[in-house]
Amino acid sequence: MEWAWLIPVFGFAAFGVIALGGNALPWRGRYLSILAIGAGFALFWFVLLDFIERGGGFHRFGVDWFETGGVTVAWGIIIDPLTVTMLALVTFVALAVQVYSLGYMAGDKRIGWYYAVHSLFAAAMLTLVLADNLLLLYFAWELVGLCSYLLIGFWHERRSAAEAAKKAFVTTRIGDVGLLIGIILLVVHTGTFDITEILARATNPAPGEELSNALITGTALLLFLGAMGKSAQFPLHVWLPDAMEGPSPVSALIHAATMVAAGVFLVARMLPLFEASGAALEVVAVVGLVTGLVGATLALTSTDLKRILAYSTMSHLGFMMLALGAGGFTAAIFHLVAHGLAKAMLFLGAGSVMHALDNETDIRKMGGLRRVMPMTALTFTIGAAALAGIPPLSAFWSKDEMLLAVHGGLHPIYLVLFLAAIGLSALYMARAVRLAFYGPLNDAARRAHESPRVMTLPMLLLASLTLVVGFLALPLGAGYEGIGTFLLQAGEKPHPFTLNAWLTAASVVLAVGAFAGGWRLYDKRADVVASARARFAALHRALERGYYLDAGYQWVIDKVVMRAGSAVALFDRRVVNDGGVNGPGEGTVFAGRQLRRHVTGLFADYGAAMALGVLGIGIFLWARSA
Amino acid sequence: MALAAFYVLALVTLGGAIGVVTVRNIIHAALFLLVTLGGVAGFFALLYAEFLALAQVLIYSGAVVIVILFALMLTRRGEVELMDEHRRWPVAAAVSFGLFAVMAAAFIADAARYQADVRSSVSLDALGAVLFERWAAPFEIASLVLLVALIGAIVIARSGGRDEG
Amino acid sequence: MTLLHFELLGAALFCLGLYGALARRSAVLVLMSIELMLNGVNVLLVAFAAYGVRDNATGLVIAIFVITIAAAEVALAMAIVLRLFRSRGSVNVDEIDALRG
């Protein structure tokens, strides 16, 4: 367990070697990267076994890095249930995705760089989940952002990919600024970067060390702003659908394990701070709920397979935030894992389809694919059903936990809207699966073929995990009493597995009903869909345009930011540049021109000046002595 | 008697000096310099510094003035040139006079401390002993400087006609 | 006849030399003026020695050094003047302005 810090170090080392060694390495470094993450995954098991042997709990290891002005900064790691869970998710998904990429990215001329950044991405995320202080966390946070930028824009020859990468970077940057300010405020007021100490100061302060409620709420909201950017919460979600421009395995990684999980992880890690505030928790819940609904409705009308998945991710991230807002730490992280596994598989499946159809992503041009790519269709269906909440697949269990948390922690209106969103998510999943994989075989899809085994194998692995991971919610014996007794915050009481019959029944009925209904609707009754689309044309258009958010942001950028920018640029050119920079320069030149007239090069002039100096010194000395 | 000699010598010396810095004929200026240097030798005698008076006549009045006259002859084109003043001579005059005023003021203010007319001398033996004991190192260095100057002068004056550096 | 007489005389010689060094145009005349300045200083040194301002020997010894260095200086300066004349055909100091900015 003391060696857990090695897990990200493998990745960093692989990045360094591949980035420097480049194409000179055997196989251009791709197996080195897989080896590194594989070693991380193996080491995770040792950490897990050690962790269980020590009876869980909360452990810290680290060394002091430097001390400045009374603030000690440490390289330190936390090993607690949250970290262990995240380690499992990140290492496993990253491993699966990297193996998959062997097939998907085969033949790409920059595959070495692809694997290098992949390693860095995973390593940064692992550092993020291990970090025991906010500085290290922020450090890793920014690295994650950088890597996502590099990978989304991996095919930067395509203008849309470059634009999408830029959009992702800038949008998350808005949140990152909030995070940075929040961290600085916390450090200034508590005098430490240490997460444990900060949380202790917020929740259980020593007398005279209390933090004001305004500070707690303010910093919690600022941290949440950072989480909103990374986890694509409304209204900072606009980068997520565009991020589809990256290679599909990258999307799988971003949506499951690394990028978007960071925001949820941050809120979970700092949850006591939010709970100490109360108001901040409420904001988290509201934003989560809105995101969940917005994402689900957008997914319903999109015709791009990867975009449907992206909006679905957004919606599910909203659910997690909602659960966190309700205080459901366990439920949210459980769902993060369940969703991560399923969504990674879905993206790998989407990638497999694109691989077969020359990068086609429009589901209207697919159809009947299960006849030509049975393995992809099978895994995709399992993933979709899991996310729709069909029992006994993974997300059913986690969704149940989240429903319990929302029921217990928030106003019933949240519960109702949450259930509606769950129904929607089953509906759009049914639609996507039906249109892409079932029904008559589309002509365009005839020449499609199943992907190589190196791609289907990771998908199968993820699918089988999706089938079983939900059962972690149940007491499995051997001392394991269900997820509610394992995945806990420090100091939280274990809550053994429970079922609220009404809630479970409602969610099952909704999920199965909506899935089956959706299936039937898109299978047999296309006319109903068409007429509904015609009746709610305005709504449909709004959904297709993503609620006009992109257009709105564009307007703000064009009319406000660009104009302010031109004004600032003008100020810079006229005042700063002409007056502030060129002014002294020209003044110096002018003074030099004037002064050089006195430099005659004549001996007599210099002699006279020297004599004048002697005269001055003489007068001075004599005047002083007199 | 001594005071009268001082004033006569002062007249000769300063008159020669004024001649050096004002006459337009360079040869005349060199001759005026000879007069001034002789006058200074006289002052050395008045101050009981017979050795220095002798050295002054030998080195300055003899060697230095001869070298200068040689230089004048070698740098002449045809007629003897008539040199007028630099156009900024008033500045030079003002600075020089100012410096003299400051020095004179300082000396006069300090004069009360040295009212007595008690000149004394050092015997040639004693001077020699001091020069080669206490001042031995500077003396050696000075001889080295002379040697370097000698070689340097030859090198500079000999190397080719053009300024090849 | 007191020290003051010699002091004023030395100062006058020095300042006349300074004037000549600054105002004259011929390099040779400048050199002669510098000799005047050195002589003015020498008069002061010897006078201080004779009137025992410090001790009787120091001033004399330094005066000897001044004469020595002056001889070296004249030799070098004359070599430079010759060289100058050969390369530029003139020894006017106000034509030597290679250092002008």
Identify whether the C-beta of residue B11 lies closer than 8 Å to the C-beta of residue B45. Answer: no
Domain ranges of chain C: 3-88
Highest mean predicted confidence (pLDDT) among A217-226, A537-546, A572-581? A217-226
- Mean pLDDT over residues A295-311, rounded? 81
pLDDT at A609 over 80: yes
Q: Is C42 on the interface with B (CB under 8 A)?
A: yes
- Calculate Rg over the CA atoms of chain B: 20
Confidence of residue A476 (pLDDT cuts 50, 70, 90): low
Give the neighbours of chain A: at least 3 Cβ pairs within 8 Å: B, C
Candidates B42, B44, B17; CA nearest to B31 is B17
Pull the structure tokens for residue A180: 């940075």
Strands of B21-147, DSSP E: none
Three-state SS string over A119-140 comes to HHHHHHHHHHHHECEHHHHHHH
Burial B1-21 (b: 16+ CB within 10 A, else e): eeeeebeebbebbbebbbbbb
- For A353, residues 6+ apart whose C-beta sits below 8 A from its C-beta are A305, A360, A366, A369, A373, A376, A436, A448
B106 and A618: CB-CB below 8 Å? yes
A614 and B86: CB-CB below 8 Å? no
Q: pLDDT, tens digit, for every residue of A460-470?
A: 888 888 887 77
- For B94, residues 6+ apart whose C-beta sits below 8 A from its C-beta are none
Burial class (CB in 10 A: 0-12, 13-18, 19+), A407: middle
Say how far apart CA A468 and CA A401 lie, in whole Å: 16
Say how far apart CA C53 and CA A389 lie, in whole Å: 113
Residue A604 with chain C: CB contacts under 8 Å: 21-23, 93-94
- For A491, residues 6+ apart whose C-beta sits below 8 A from its C-beta are none
Q: pLDDT, tens digit, for every residue of A115-171?
A: 888 888 888 888 888 888 888 888 888 888 888 888 888 887 888 888 888 888 888
**Average pLDDT over chain C, rounded to an integer:** 86
Pull the structure tokens for residue A375: 């393995």
Identify whether the C-beta of residue A118 lies closer than 8 Å to the C-beta of residue A98. Answer: yes
pLDDT at A548 over 50: yes
Say how far apart CA A542 and CA A536 lie, in whole Å: 10
**Average pLDDT over chain B, rounded to an integer:** 84
Residue A159 corresponds to which amino acid? R
Highest mean predicted confidence (pLDDT) among A189-193, A564-568, B128-132? B128-132
In this structure, the number of other CB atoms found within 10 A of the CB of residue B78 comes to 5
Say how many CB pairs under 8 Å bridge A and B: 27
Q: pLDDT, tens digit, for every residue of A12-26?
A: 888 888 777 766 666
A602 and C21: CB-CB below 8 Å? no
Q: Which of B92, B102, B109 sits opposite A608 (nearest CB)?
A: B92
Say how far apart CA A473 and CA A487 lie, in whole Å: 10
Give the ranges where chain C is alpha helix by DSSP (H).
Answer: 3-23, 27-50, 58-88
Say how far apart CA A179 and CA A236 lie, in whole Å: 14
Give the neighbours of chain B: at least 3 Cβ pairs within 8 Å: A, C
**Average pLDDT over chain A, rounded to an integer:** 79
Look at A392-396, B31-35, C73-77 and tell me which has the smallest mean pLDDT: A392-396
Residue A576 corresponds to which amino acid? V
pLDDT at B165 over 60: no
Say how far apart CA A83 and CA A333 lie, in whole Å: 10
Q: pLDDT, tens digit, for every residue of B102-155?
A: 888 888 887 777 777 777 778 888 888 988 888 999 999 999 999 999 898 888
Q: Is the dihedral of CA C47, C52, C57, C62 positive or negative?
A: negative
CA distance, residue A600 to nearest chain C CA (Å): 5
Confidence of residue A444 (pLDDT cuts 50, 70, 90): low
Highest mean predicted confidence (pLDDT) among A377-386, A476-485, A572-581, B79-88? A377-386
Given this model, what pLDDT does residue A98 score? 84
Q: Is B25 on the interface with A (CB under 8 A)?
A: no
Say how far apart CA A376 and CA A371 lie, in whole Å: 10
Q: What is the DSSP string of A441-470?
A: PPGGGTT--PPPHHHHHHHHHHHHHHHHHG
3-state secondary structure of A291: helix
Q: Top-level CATH class of C3-88?
A: mainly alpha
Q: pLDDT, tens digit, for every residue of A508-525?
A: 887 788 778 777 777 666
In this structure, the number of other CB atoms found within 10 A of the CB of residue B130 comes to 18
- Tell me, yes or no, if the pTM score tops 0.80: no
User: B82: which DSSP letter?
Assistant: B
Say how far apart CA A109 and CA A524 lie, in whole Å: 45
CA distance, residue C50 to nearest chain B CA (Å): 5
Q: pLDDT, tens digit, for every residue of C40-91?
A: 999 999 988 888 777 778 889 999 999 989 888 888 888 888 888 888 777 7
